[in-house]
């Protein structure tokens, strides 16, 4: 039996042993937690080389981000089928000890050649079956551009409160069509609107087309029967009086949430107006 020194006691030895056991359990608990939480943290970032993807041209895709632990993806596999791409990131074996947290990772995929021009839907998953992210990207043809992302929704100009641009954007495969209406008011304060039609993409962030003005006789209770509190039809469509082309437009999307609409109007002479737009959340 060990002889106790002056400052030692059976109780102090038991306390030291318990502290050591607790510390060991804490370490193994962290390892187990890291292994069980082998999932992605934050968004998945994609980069392309070359940055503009062209048909029949080899392109290298890099997947990167920050992982919850040290068991970061080691490699990846890409499968493509009819404008759909699946990237599977290979994770280390489940028996691997993951003791570090918030580790950056980067997986460079083998070069890929796309034969079809258009908008591609992409999903990133893990070899364990976990869904990480869903994105889209464009593959451009010879002299043919597709949009970088979907720009549909409401857009407004802060300096002209009450007016705005509503964009409808159909983006799927070889179809990439954008149609928009610009809601505004006349000098007399009456509502008016213009339509942006026939658009095509001159670059992956630039859409150009024609501007049309639509005129009609309004038919609604508030306008035609302002004194009738029991108007049975609050609104009914009316025969269009006139649809005429009044100019051309180009809209440049600098980011996913900001754009510049350039309207070139033929009103007895060419008139150009630049409208800075922000996406409505």
CA 256 to chain centre: 7
**Are 82 and 194 part of one and the same domain?**
no
Which range (5-9, 46-50, 96-100) has the least confidence? 5-9
The pLDDT of residue 102: 86
What's the mean pLDDT in 181-188? 81
**Are 257 and 233 part of one and the same domain?**
yes
Decide: helix, strand or coil at residue 50: coil
Give the domain extent around 64: 40-139
User: Would you say residue 20 has pLDDT above 80?
Assistant: no
**Are 267 and 180 part of one and the same domain?**
yes
User: Would you say residue 190 has pLDDT above 80?
Assistant: no
The pLDDT of residue 3: 47
The pLDDT of residue 231: 65
Closest CA to 150 of 165, 133, 138, 132: 138
- Where does a domain end: 105, 139, 173? 139
In a domain, 35, yes or no: no
What does the block give as tokens for 62? 């890099």
- Where does a domain end: 90, 105, 139? 139
What's the mean pLDDT in 114-142? 94
Q: What is the pLDDT of residues 226-265, one digit of tens each?
A: 556 666 555 555 556 678 899 999 999 999 999 999 999 8
What's the mean pLDDT in 117-122? 96
The secondary structure of residue 256, as a DSSP letter, is T
- Where does a domain end: 139, 161, 192? 139
**Are 108 and 75 part of one and the same domain?**
yes
Could you give the number of structural domains in the chain? Answer: 2
Q: How confident is the model at residue 19 (pLDDT cuts 50, 70, 90)?
A: very low
In a domain, 272, yes or no: yes
Closest CA to 249 of 180, 191, 158: 180
User: Would you say residue 14 has pLDDT above 70?
Assistant: no
Query: CB neighbours (10 Å) of residue 78?
Result: 15
70 with 91: CB under 8 angstroms?
A: no
What percent of the chain stands above pLDDT 70?
A: 75
The pLDDT of residue 159: 80
Q: Where are the alpha helices (DSSP H) in the chain?
A: 10-36, 221-224
């Amino acid at each position: 039996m060990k002889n106790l020194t002056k400052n030692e006691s059976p109780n102090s030895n038991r306390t030291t042993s318990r502290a050591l056991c607790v510390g060991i359990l804490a370490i193994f608990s962290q390892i187990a937690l890291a292994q069980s939480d082998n999932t992605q943290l934050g968004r998945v970032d994609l980069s392309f080389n070359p940055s503009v993807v062209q048909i029949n041209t080899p392109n290298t895709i890099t997947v990167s981000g920050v992982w919850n632990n040290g068991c970061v993806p080691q490699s990846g596999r890409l499968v493509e089928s009819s404008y759909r791409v699946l990237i599977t990131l290979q994770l280390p074996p489940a028996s691997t000890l993951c003791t570090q947290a918030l580790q950056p990772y980067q997986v460079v995929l083998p070069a890929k050649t796309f034969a079809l021009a258009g908008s591609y839907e992409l999903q990133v998953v893990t070899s364990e079956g976990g869904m990480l992210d869903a994105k889209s990207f464009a593959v451009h043809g010879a002299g043919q551009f597709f949009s970088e992302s979907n720009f549909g929704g409401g857009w407004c100009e802060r300096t002209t409160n009450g007016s705005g641009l509503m964009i409808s954007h159909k983006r799927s495969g070889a179809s990439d069509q954008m149609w928009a209406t610009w809601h505004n008011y006349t000098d007399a304060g009456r509502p008016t609107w213009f339509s942006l039609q026939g658009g095509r993409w001159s670059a992956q962030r630039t859409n150009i087309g024609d501007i049309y003005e639509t005129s009609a006789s309004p038919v609604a209770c508030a306008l035609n029967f302002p004194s009738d509190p029991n108007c049975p039809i609050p609104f009914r469509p009316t025969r269009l009086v006139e649809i005429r082309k009044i100019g051309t437009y180009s809209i440049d999307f600098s980011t996913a949430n900001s754009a510049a609409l350039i309207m070139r109007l033929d009103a007895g002479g060419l008139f150009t107006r630049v409208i800075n737009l922000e996406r409505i959340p």
